[in-house]
């Protein structure tokens, strides 16, 4: 039995981000909401957000009807990691430009994978 692709997953690593921006849950949730709106993805519940104490970062998850979005920030390293999975095809997204603009990222690595289809 051949299984067709069952969606697309993006793994995004952003470095050189402004540490103070990586500690702001409201800024990160605004970023997440904007990405989801741009890609017409539908949250099914409010985001879960955990803010680490002191100079720590933020971990957030948004459950989608199409799957999920997660964000993890590491201000001490100027780094954000993002994982977005959608079981519905979506066009490429300009993560590099967006994270440079919103978080000051100087380097962004975007990897995408078709899910479900095996060779």
39 domain residue, yes or no: yes
Number of domains in the chain: 1
| Residue 52 CA: distances (Å) to CA of 76, 87, 95, 119 | 12, 31, 25, 41
96 domain residue, yes or no: yes
The three state secondary structure string of 41-74 is: CCECCCCEEEECCCCCCEEEEEEECCEEEEEEEE
pLDDT at 88: 87
Q: Rounded to an integer, what distance in angstroms lies between the CA atom of residue 1 and that of residue 102?
A: 44
pLDDT digits (tens, 9 = 90+) for 46-104: 999 999 999 999 999 999 999 999 999 999 999 999 999 999 888 889 999 999 999 99
Contact predicate 116/31, CB 8 Å:
no
57 domain residue, yes or no: yes
Structure tokens at 71: 């964000």
68 domain residue, yes or no: yes
Average pLDDT over residues 6-34: 97
- pTM value? 0.92
Domain membership of residue 24 as a residue range: 8-114
């Amino acid at each position: 039995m051949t299984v067709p692709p069952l969606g697309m997953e993006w793994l995004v690593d952003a470095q050189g981000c402004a540490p103070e921006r990586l500690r702001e849950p409201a800024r990160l949730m605004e970023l997440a909401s904007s990405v989801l709106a741009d890609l017409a993805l539908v949250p099914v519940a409010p985001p879960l957000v955990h803010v680490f104490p002191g100079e720590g970062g933020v971990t957030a998850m948004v459950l989608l009807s199409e799957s999920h979005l997660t964000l993890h920030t590491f201000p001490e390293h100027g780094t954000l990691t993002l994982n977005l999975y959608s079981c519905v095809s979506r066009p490429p997204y300009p993560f590099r430009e967006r994270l440079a603009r919103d978080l000051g990222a100087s380097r962004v690595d975007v990897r995408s994978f078709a899910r479900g289809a095996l060779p």
